[in-house]
Chains A and B, each alone.
Chain A
């Protein structure tokens, strides 16, 4: 993912970190699914195996945090932070509405992992919108 469509030294480092965490995630999630299916662990071991695939994903959040501290371009940093706020706000709104729907009307819970996808989609969309609003002319 190219942060804000502009390649800065910090965004290149961020991309490398995301590639590493995503690679680890793929290996870990496949391994965890295989172990749960074939070894049938239970108790604390099952809980541990279930949590392990989340760690590389949490690492992506950490990579975003590191990126924000490393990014020297203050405008790029600002639009990244704005986009993170938009993503967080939309996710919280979605979860809150779903909580009320579940509590008062017996609606189903949001399926697993959808909230994470929503967050990153809105984050990316918010970045794209800000980029479009600040389009640069080629002759400038």
Chain B
């Protein structure tokens, strides 16, 4: 699943560590999500979207929907 996490984080000038602390996860988790190696659970995805003040589908984009 693609996401705009890195882009949204960069817009705010946040480091991965700062974002990880905000989300109460490890920096490894943030990196894995940003690089598409790990898809977060629905609760974590909602938490990320809320943190950036976005709807969940403005942060995460299912590739299947993109191709359709």
Interface size class of A (residues with CB under 8 A): 10 to 19
Encode B24-49 as 1/0 by CB contact (under 8 A) with A. Answer: 11111101110101101100100000
Q: A6-B28, A73-B26, A75-B25 are in contact. Are A133 and B37 (CB under 8 A)?
A: yes
Asked if B16 contacts A75 (CB within 8 A), the reply is no
Asked if B35 contacts A8 (CB within 8 A), the reply is no
Q: How near does chain A come to B13, taking the closest CB pair, in angstroms?
A: 12
Encode B43-67 as 1/0 by CB contact (under 8 A) with A. Answer: 0100000000000000000000000
Residues of B with C-beta under 8 A to A73: 25-26, 29
Residues of B with C-beta under 8 A to A5: 28
A131 within 8 A of B: yes
Residues of A with C-beta under 8 A to B41: 74
Q: How near does chain A come to B58, taking the closest CB pair, in angstroms?
A: 22
A76 within 8 A of B: yes
Measuring CB to CB, which residues of chain A are less than 8 angstroms from any residue of chain B?
4-6, 8, 72-76, 78, 131, 133-136, 140
Known: A72-B25, A136-B27. 10 other contacts (CB 8 A): A4-B28, A6-B26, A6-B27, A75-B26, A78-B38, A131-B28, A134-B28, A134-B32, A136-B16, A140-B16
